[in-house]
Structure 1
Amino acid sequence: MLLRRATAADAPRIGQLFYDTITQVNAADYTPAQVAAWRAGWQNLPGWAAKIEQQYFLVAEATPDTLGGFASLASDGYLDFLFVSAAHQRQGIARQLLTALLEQAVRLGLSGVHTDASSTARPFFSHHGFRLKREQELVVRGVRLTNYRMNQLLAPPLRPTT
């Protein structure tokens, strides 16, 4: 799996992977109404392009024409997205993407990373050292969804001794 920075040209494939993953993977943990509300913005190409431009946004390419996943980190340490396609689940892609984002957070000098994990993603984040801060209920397109605010503290970079 090749990890690389996303570009605006990736936006259509990112949107499609977002839609497909929510429909095929997250649907196990959410009702049909919740799935429909959550995935509804998938075709917002200007929105995807803005996230790609504003965040440290990575794609994982299975082949030059196939995305296996994507993830993004905002400059304040907010892990905004971490999605892996249904066809590439349990292959270590989410771990690779998370590792790359945490390395970027360290390069930025951040003291921690936080995310709003779905019910589907919560066990993954827990397994990788994130701590649950609180359960949250939000309304998306008139439908209530539950997610989980989670964070992970980062070790400060070692400073050379003089």
Structure 2
Amino acid sequence: MLLRRATAADAVGIGQLFYDTITEINAAYYSPEQVGAWRGGWQNLAGWQATIQAQHFLVAEADGALAGFASLAPDGYLDFLFVSARHQRQGVARLLLHALLAEATRLELTLVYTDASRTAQPFFAHYGFQVEREQHPVVRGVALLNYRMVRPVAAPKPDTAF
């Protein structure tokens, strides 16, 4: 598994993985109308490229294929964490999350927060995120369900070597 910073050239693949994951994985938890609204902006290359530029945006590759992506905004907002249907339950999300938490520590953030889908809420809970509140954002005129989840960033352990 290769983990690297995303580039503008990754935008097409990121958009496609976003679309595919919502369609193939998240559809188990959301209605067809909700899935359609959520995945609606997947072809917005300028939007993906702007997010790649503005955030700590990582991609995971397996055998030359895009396996997942994740991003962290400078304020500690974990904006994206998506894994392709072919790479579910292979540690991709864990690898991406740990890399973003390491970045949060490097940035000396005290808290990381996210808006987790029904699909992702158990994953985040497993890694120490707590539900702060249930939310019903309206996307393209359709109400979705997600959870604002927060997690303190663990302080780095002091160097005890003398």
Which TM bucket (shorter chain)? over 0.9
Residue in structure 2 matched with residue 134 of structure 1 by the alignment: 133
Question: What is the identity, as a one-letter code, of the residue corresponding to 1:71?
Answer: A
For the residue of structure 2 that corresponds to 1:40, the secondary structure is helix
Q: In the alignment, is the contact (CA less than 8 A) between 1:83 and 1:94 conserved in 2?
A: yes
Take 1:86 and 1:157, find their aligned partners in 2: how far apart are those partners?
Answer: 34
Tell me the C-alpha RMSD between the 2 structures.
Answer: 1.3
Cα offset, 1:154, TM superposition: 1.4
Take 1:32 and 1:154, find their aligned partners in 2: how far apart are those partners?
Answer: 36
For the residue of structure 2 that corresponds to 1:50, the secondary structure is helix
Residue in structure 2 matched with residue 8 of structure 1 by the alignment: 8
Moved over 4 A (4+): 158-161
Residue 69 (1) aligns with residue 68 (2): yes
- Superposition pairs of residues 1-162 of structure 1, within 5 angstroms: 1-64=1-64, 66-158=65-157
Question: What is the identity, as a one-letter code, of the residue corresponding to 1:58?
Answer: L
Q: In the alignment, is the contact (CA less than 8 A) between 1:14 and 1:70 conserved in 2?
A: yes
Structure 2 unaligned spans of 5+: none
Structure 1 unaligned spans of 5+: none
Q: In the alignment, is the contact (CA less than 8 A) between 1:106 and 1:157 conserved in 2?
A: yes
Take 1:151 and 1:102, find their aligned partners in 2: how far apart are those partners?
Answer: 12
Q: Percent identity?
A: 69
Aligned residues: 161
Q: In the alignment, is the contact (CA less than 8 A) between 1:109 and 1:157 conserved in 2?
A: no
Deviation by residue 1:84-133 (Cα, 9 ceiling, x = unmatched): 00010000000000000000000000001000000000000000100000
Take 2:56 and 2:63, find their aligned partners in 1: how far apart are those partners?
Answer: 21
Deviation by residue 1:22-50 (Cα, 9 ceiling, x = unmatched): 00000000000000000000000000000
Question: What is the identity, as a one-letter code, of the residue corresponding to 1:14?
Answer: I
Take 2:29 and 2:19, find their aligned partners in 1: how far apart are those partners?
Answer: 15
TM (normalized to structure 2)?
0.96
Take 1:154 and 1:87, find their aligned partners in 2: how far apart are those partners?
Answer: 30
Cα offset, 1:160, TM superposition: 6.3
Take 2:159 and 2:119, find their aligned partners in 1: how far apart are those partners?
Answer: 41
Taking structure 1 as reference, are residues 156 and 39 closer, same or farther at Cα in structure 2, changes over 3 Å only? Answer: same
Take 1:71 and 1:100, find their aligned partners in 2: how far apart are those partners?
Answer: 9
